[in-house]
Amino acid sequence: MALGFAGEVIAKPSLVIGYYPSWKRQYMSAIDFTKYTHINLSFGDWFTPQVVTEMHGKGVKVLMSVGGWTGSNLFSNILKNPTTRTTLLNSMTDYVKNMNLDGIDIDWEYPGRMGNNCNVIDAANDTPNFLKFVQDLRAQFDSTFGTRQKLITMAVRVEPFDVNGAPSADVSAFAKVVDFANLMQYDINGGWNPQTGPNAPFNYENGKGMQLTAGIGFYGRSTTATVDMTLDPNNQYQNQSSVVPLGDSEDAPWYDACAGATANSGTWQWKHLRDQGLLSAPTTANAPWVRKFDPISQTPWLFNPNTKIFISYDDPQSIKVKVDYAAAKGLAGAMVWSANMDYNGELMNAIQAWPGNGGGSTTTTTPAPPVTSTTNTATSSAPGTTTDPAPTSTTGGGGPVAGGPCSSQGAYQCADTTGKNSAYFICNSGTWVQQACGSGTACFQSGANIVCNWPTA
What digits encode the pLDDT tens for the residues 307-360? Answer: 999 999 999 999 998 888 888 878 889 999 999 999 999 999 999 988 765 433
**Residues 378, 384, 390: CA angle, nearest 5 degrees:** 130
Please list, residue by residue across 68-104, b when 16 or more beta carbons sit within 10 angstroms of its beta carbon and e when fewer do: bbebbbebbeebbeeeebeebbeebbeebeebebbbb
Q: How far apart are CA 259 and CA 252, in angstroms?
A: 17
Q: How far apart are CA 354 and CA 402, in angstroms?
A: 40
Superfamily of domain 9-215+316-363: Glycosidases (3.20.20.80)
Q: How far apart are CA 44 and CA 130, in angstroms?
A: 22
Sequence-distant (≥ 6) Cβ neighbours of residue 5 within 8 angstroms: 328, 366
pLDDT surpasses 70 at 2: no
Prior bond of 393 cis (ω within 30°):
no
Please write the tens of the pLDDT for every residue from 97-146: 999 999 999 999 999 998 888 899 999 999 999 999 999 999 999 999 99
Residue, of 118 and 77, whose pLDDT is higher: 77
Residue 205's pLDDT band, with cuts at 50, 70 and 90, is very low
Q: What does the pLDDT read at residue 85?
A: 97
Domain-wise residue ranges, the chain: 9-215+316-363, 385-457
Residue, of 374 and 261, whose pLDDT is higher: 261
Q: What does the pLDDT read at residue 386?
A: 28
Give the three-state DSSP class for 273: helix
Highest mean pLDDT out of 256-265, 282-291, 345-354: 282-291
CA 226 to chain centre: 27
Residue, of 39 and 424, whose pLDDT is higher: 39
| Whether the predicted model's global pTM rises above the 0.85 cut | no
pLDDT surpasses 80 at 225: yes
What separation in angstroms does the CA of 134 have from each of 70, 172, 176? 21, 13, 10
| Residue 2 one-letter amino acid | A
CA 147 to chain centre: 31
Q: What does the pLDDT read at residue 13?
A: 55
Count, residues in the chain: 457
Q: Return mean pLDDT, the chain.
A: 81
Please write the tens of the pLDDT for every residue from 230-250: 999 988 889 999 889 999 999
Q: Where are the beta strands (DSSP E) in 208-289?
A: 212-217, 219-224, 254-256, 261-263, 267-269, 279-281, 284-285
Q: How far apart are CA 292 and CA 248, in angstroms?
A: 20
Q: How far apart are CA 379 and CA 114, in angstroms?
A: 9
Residue 157's pLDDT band, with cuts at 50, 70 and 90, is confident
Of the given ranges (285-289, 308-312, 381-385), which has the lowest mean pLDDT? 381-385
Q: What is the DSSP letter of 1?
A: -
